[in-house]
Amino acid sequence: MLKIIKVLITFLLISTPVLAGKNEMVKATLSIPGIVYAEFPQDSSFWVAMDQPQGHNYEQYGYLLCEGGEQKYGMPKGYTITFWNRYTKKPLYKFRCY
């Protein structure tokens, strides 16, 4: 029983900063002009919806979100950033943050 309690406490101590980092990263992403939606539906995916999908350098956006998320919010790499068209609900570009 004591082992289970130790494991749960360790899990909570480790997972809380990651969750806080995700929330802060989502807030920061939503402050970028042209981005209307952002979420981590699962640990391996970060979804970003664009208001006007044409004319963006998605490779650069992906790189900046990936590196900035790691440096500023402590988000470990190992997920894919998918940029979506807000209106058609279709993916525009996938950036692998690894």
pLDDT in tens, 63-82: 999 999 999 999 999 999 99
Q: In this structure, are residues 71 and 24 in contact, taking their beta carbons and an 8 Å threshold? A: no
Q: In this structure, are residues 59 and 27 in contact, taking their beta carbons and an 8 Å threshold? A: no
* Ranges in the chain, pLDDT < 70: 1-19
Q: What's the pLDDT at 52?
A: 87
Number of domains in the chain: 1
CATH of the domain at 32: 3.30.70
Q: What's the pLDDT at 23?
A: 94
**pTM of the complete model:** 0.78
- Per the structure block, which two tokens stand in for 44? 């391996």
Q: What's the pLDDT at 4?
A: 40
Q: In this structure, are residues 73 and 24 in contact, taking their beta carbons and an 8 Å threshold? A: yes
Q: What's the pLDDT at 19?
A: 61
**Domain housing 78:** 2-97
Q: What's the pLDDT at 55?
A: 85
Give the side-chain half-sphere CA count within 13 A for 57: 3
Contacting residues for 84 by C-beta, under 8 A, at least 6 apart:
37, 47, 48, 49, 50, 90, 91, 92
